[in-house]
Each structure stands twice: as structure tokens, then as C-alpha cells.
Amino acid sequence: MGVMSREAFHQPRPPEPLPPAPKERVVPPTTSRRMAQAVTQLATAYGVDLAQKGASLQLDLPGQPQRWLIGQIDDHRIGVTRCQVDAENGLAPDLDMIFEVTVDGWEPRELAHSEQVWQAYTQAMQARGEPVANAHGDFDFVAFTEFMAHDLAQQAATLR
């Protein structure tokens, strides 16, 4: 009988499991594709070239107490404002959005909204099960403007 060394009985340890593959970081969009599309389609339908200095479009919504005002602010910015219309046809903005027009798309730069607009947005997001803020607790400008673009497109569709 031969002599066996300790090494002969050694069982190699199973290999360590590989660390999980790094999760691909999903970079949220920084442009509002839906708003650019909705406004561009409206401008085209009404023959307005928003690339022209001073170009603007007023979208009256018959039977609704709202009016949309869309216009070029300067060579690189477009403003989209929704106003409430009172009985005397006076306008009070409840939503104002300014977009920087870049090669990548329309980047929301400034937002101002009324409490009613905010409540409607947060309720809709909660109903969808979607967060109002991102994982870092930051407000998602793009999600908000995409939501408002959907509202604009739906209201504009009633005019056709």
C-alpha cells in the first residue's frame, strides 16, 4: 500500500462566484421628445415656422377654459404656456415651460406651474404607479413635460 500525502486528499475549493455584472446605468432622457413632436406638428398644421424670429401660435380650445400660447423666445428657446381663460377673456397662466432647442432635442430649462397643475400631475403619476421624483429625490423635468405634451396633444386633437 502506498503512502498518501495530505495533498492527495485535497479537494480544490469551488471557484468563487463571479461578481455580478455591473448594472448598466440607465441615463434618463434629458429631452422632451413628445413635447417637441406635439408642438412641431401643431406649428406645421397652422403654418407657423417656430424657427423664425418672433414666431408664435395661439391655440384656442372652444368650450374649454384654456388657451395654449407657443412661441419662439430667441434662436435657441421655445416657450409653451397654458393659460386659464376667465369670463372676460382674460388670461392667467397656470403652466409655463421653456425649452432649450439643441441638436439632441428640446431640453426643459424652466418650469412654472400652479398648485392645480401640480396636483393633477402628482395624482396622475400616482394612479400610474410612477414616481414624481427620481431615485435621488430629484424632480424629473422630462417626465413632467412629456405628461404635459400628452395633454397638449389630446386637447389639440379635439380641434381637428
126 located within any domain? yes
28 located within any domain? no
119 located within any domain? yes
57 located within any domain? yes
125 located within any domain? yes
Q: Does 131 have pLDDT greater than 60?
A: yes
pLDDT for position 93: 95
Query: Which candidate, 96, 94, 145, places its Cα nearest to that of 116?
Result: 94
112 located within any domain? yes
H helices present in 31-140, as ranges = 33-45, 115-128
pLDDT for position 10: 45
For 87, the domain range is 53-160
pLDDT for position 4: 40
Give the model confidence (pLDDT) of 85-104 as tens digits.
Answer: 988 889 999 999 999 999 99
Give the model confidence (pLDDT) of 108-124 as tens digits.
Answer: 999 999 999 999 999 99
The pTM of the full predicted model, rounded to 2 decimals, is 0.79
53 φ, ψ (degrees, to nearest 5): -60, 130
Number of domains, the chain: 1
131 located within any domain? yes
